């Protein structure tokens, strides 16, 4: 489900670091290793969701610059 370098957010309300955003740095069986700015932690697939970049904001920022 996840690939290396995917941007993810912790979506399980009961999980440690709920709502934290990070990057996938490792995959191990049914667990995903996520790197946050100052910590790395393992999560199950169902505790994470991919973050999709908001294309409109990216385009808008490029135009404004």
Q: Which two tokens stand for residue 22?
A: 């990070």
In a domain, 36, yes or no: yes
> pTM here?
0.71
Model confidence over 4-23: pLDDT tens digits? 999 999 999 998 899 999 99
Assess if residue 49 is contained within a domain. yes
Question: Residue 46's domain is classified under what CATH number?
Answer: 2.30.30
Cα distances from 45 to residues 18, 26, 42, 61, in angstroms, run 14, 12, 10, 32
| Residues in contact with 53: Cβ distance below 8 Å, sequence separation at least 6, in sequence order | 7
Q: What confidence tens digit (pLDDT) does each residue in 15-56 have?
A: 889 999 999 999 988 899 999 988 999 999 899 999 886 555
Domain that holds residue 14: 7-64
Quote the pLDDT of residue 55.
Answer: 53
Number of domains observed in the structure of the chain: 1
39 is a domain residue: yes
């Amino acid at each position: 489900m996840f690939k290396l370098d995917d941007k993810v957010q912790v979506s399980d309300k009961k999980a440690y670091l709920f709502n934290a955003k990070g990057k996938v740095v490792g995959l191990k069986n049914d667990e995903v290793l996520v790197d946050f700015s100052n910590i790395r932690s393992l999560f199950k697939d169902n505790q994470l969701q991919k973050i999709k970049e908001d294309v409109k904001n990216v385009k808008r920022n490029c135009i404004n610059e």
